[in-house]
Structure 1
Amino acid sequence: MSARQVCQNFFCGALAPFHKYRQNALLDATIALINGASLTLTSIGRYLPGTAQVKNKIKRVDRLLGNESLHHDIPLIFRNIISMLTNRLSVCVIAVDWSGYPSQEYHVLRASLICDGRSLPLLSWIVPSEKQQNAKVQQAFLNTLFEAVNPKARVIIVTDAGFQNDWFRHIKSLGWDFIGRIRGNVRMRLDSKGEYWFRRQELQASTKPEYLGPGMLARSKYTRCDGHFYLHKKEPKGRKNKRSRCGIARPSQIKDARSAAKEPWLIFSSTNNFKPREIMKLYSRRMQIEQNFRDEKSERFG
């Protein structure tokens, strides 16, 4: 079966409501990327299938990218594809994260479905860098994802330490579960210790994943969120920082990464239905979304 037939079978349901010309143009652009094109207008045009001259192919891609009707249809296309991918799943584990672009003018907020191997990107929003970590943007993003994901599936959102209690509370309001890492100087309280509030640095972690019990995150009443705490300290892997001769040194990033790697994982979750080692396994698979970002920023694909 040819690549075009595979794409037609895969996207037939998601693209069915749209104009036939737009369907064919999107499929041809997808085939061009499969054949080796990078994500630029001229490169996609040069790799378009068909016997037309290269200049006409490039003009066709230019018309496609400038099609205002297509821009209005993009949210619906995403929604249809997400619905198709999650329709038969009883459990959806979705990683969400931010990533910056080299120009630093924009950031992308992305949700990817965790599966075997690389995760599958579900939804991506491009926003100005000044709105990175914006609570309203993140809540609107979750609402859009909620409208598209299979309503009968159990959804677990996995995030790193950049997402705070507003994010967790909104996930719970949608009827979903979350798994997130806690860093910084935020205070927490365990039900087993009464009203004693403490910082995560006071906890003693072991190499065996441990369930600490239910509790509360954040001392301020208007920011509090209840959930379950898990703790685990991985054995050191003995990695050394290596930089290529022509690479750019970024001491602050290296310092932050080294500090994060040495810290134990303090995981905050809305569920206690999993064993501690299963919670740690689910959180560790969050790195699949980082592979998506690396693919997008690579010279081959981007």
Structure 2
Amino acid sequence: MNVRTILTNIVSFVTPKMHATRQKALSDCVHSLANGSAATVTSIGRGINSGAYEKHSIKRADRLLSNPHLLREQSLIYGAICRLFCTAKHPTISIDWSDLDECKRHFLLRASLSFDGRAITLYEEVHPLSTKEKPAAHKLFLRRLSLLLPAGCKPVIVTDAGFKTPWFRQIEALGWYFVGRVRKPCFYTTDNGGHWQCISQLYATASQRPKLYQAKIARNTPFACTLTLYKQKAKGRHALNADGSVKSSKTSQSNARANSDPWLLASNLPKTSHHGKNVVAIYRQRMQIEESFRDMKSTQFGLGFEQNYTIKLNRLSILVLLTNLASLALILLGVGVTVAKKHWQFQANTQREKRVLSFHTLGLRAIAKRLKLTAKQWRDTLKHCIHLLDTTSYSII
């Protein structure tokens, strides 16, 4: 099987009930993105493999972004992805916001499933500034996500410090679990409200061994949870100027102080042996969603979404969907290349103990080199994906 056939099969699998002509247009645009076209209308159109003039291919991509039927079918596509990958009872799902343009007009709210080094996007919404980080938007997003997930699925939702206690309450109301970072300014109490202190009082006791506290946070509306305090070993990284000296600007120093703070993680996970280590391991996976944002936006490393200047929300939603399908296909291709033991040929070094390149990058290189996988290798790839999904889910509950 060549990679183009595999890409077509992946798109067909998550769009089984779509009109054939619309499905073909969607598949061709995803092929264009996966082949290196930037996530803009003109670039996608020029990259479509067709005998038509480029002008007509660009118009074809333009019509797809404005297609009202595809806009309505987005939830069906995301639902198919959720059913395909959320096979565990307690999958680890990271949720975060990201800017879609430098003008701060539109923002992306995304839910991604933890995988091996790269997250798989399950559901996402484009929001204007007026609904960004609003409790009502969060509540509606969680409700829609719950309708897409398989019955009986109780995920562990992982978020950064931008999501506060109202978010935790919404997750508990659904019967789900959460792991979220708590940062200053926030107060906590360990004696049922008798004495409230700033969480910074805990920082001095942080170490590489996680510490657990049964506590309440949010002094005005107390919320009971388990706090896990952890400080990882310093990596010795420094932001440098062009001449190699360490940056000393106010912004750089502020970022350095923020990144030196220990992790204080709130959760409602059931107590187990090694509970602290489990919570820290779950929160570590949150970085995967940040890397998926880079894979979507970066021209150098990803699909070049940063080049587009679309301002209409509906068109942005479909463009984001196209990049999501392309990323999904690239990740699965990258897994296939690894299973087939062909990933070594794309490395710049001789490292053999572990995989050096991400699945996303391996997928891009496989398409560029028109790599072929046998039917058996592709079946082994799907089995390996199931194994990876099982190992990244929280199965101790």
TM-score using structure 2 length: 0.69
8 Å contact kept, 1:45–1:57: yes
8 Å contact kept, 1:205–1:264: no
The residue that corresponds to 1:67 in the other structure is: 67
8 Å contact kept, 1:188–1:198: yes
The residue that corresponds to 1:188 in the other structure is: 188
- What amino acid sits opposite 1:234 in the alignment? Q
The residue that corresponds to 1:174 in the other structure is: 174
| Distance across 1 between alignment mates of 2:28 and 2:162 | 38
| Distance across 2 between alignment mates of 1:165 and 1:250 | 35
1:250 is displaced (CA, Å) by 11
1:50 is displaced (CA, Å) by 2.6
8 Å contact kept, 1:213–1:228: yes
1:65 is displaced (CA, Å) by 1.4
The residue that corresponds to 1:239 in the other structure is: 237
The residue that corresponds to 2:127 in the other structure is: 127
8 Å contact kept, 2:211–2:230: no
1:268 aligns with 2:266: yes
Query: Could you tell which deviates more after superposition, 71-80 or 172-181?
Result: 71-80
The residue that corresponds to 1:89 in the other structure is: 88
| Distance across 1 between alignment mates of 2:9 and 2:194 | 58
| Distance across 1 between alignment mates of 2:210 and 2:166 | 26
The residue that corresponds to 1:205 in the other structure is: 205
| Distance across 2 between alignment mates of 1:11 and 1:84 | 13
8 Å contact kept, 1:205–1:232: no
8 Å contact kept, 1:118–1:292: yes
| Distance across 2 between alignment mates of 1:147 and 1:213 | 34
Does the C-alpha gap of structure 1 residues 153 and 251 become closer, same or farther in structure 2, counting only changes over 3 Å? farther
1:40 is displaced (CA, Å) by 1.0
* Root mean square deviation of aligned Cα: 2.1
Greater per-residue strand proportion = 1
Does the C-alpha gap of structure 1 residues 266 and 298 become closer, same or farther in structure 2, counting only changes over 3 Å? same
| Distance across 2 between alignment mates of 1:243 and 1:95 | 33
The residue that corresponds to 1:112 in the other structure is: 112
Which one has more relative contact order, counting CA pairs under 8 Å at least 6 apart?
2
Does the C-alpha gap of structure 1 residues 132 and 260 become closer, same or farther in structure 2, counting only changes over 3 Å? same
8 Å contact kept, 1:4–1:27: no
1:97 is displaced (CA, Å) by 0.9
- What amino acid sits opposite 1:116 in the alignment? D
8 Å contact kept, 1:209–1:280: no
| Distance across 2 between alignment mates of 1:8 and 1:237 | 42
**Per-residue displacement from partner, 1:143-197 (whole Å, max 9, x unpaired)?**
1111111232331011111100110000011111000111112111225x77222
Query: Could you tell which deviates more after superposition, 211-220 or 35-44?
Result: 211-220
Q: Which 5+ residue runs of structure 2 have no aligned equivalent?
A: 305-397
1:231 is displaced (CA, Å) by 0.5
The residue that corresponds to 1:291 in the other structure is: 291
1:90 is displaced (CA, Å) by 3.0
1:262 is displaced (CA, Å) by 1.4
What SS is found at the alignment partner of 2:233? coil
| Distance across 2 between alignment mates of 1:2 and 1:25 | 20
8 Å contact kept, 1:189–1:215: yes
| Distance across 2 between alignment mates of 1:256 and 1:225 | 29
TM-score using structure 1 length: 0.90
| Distance across 1 between alignment mates of 2:37 and 2:249 | 35
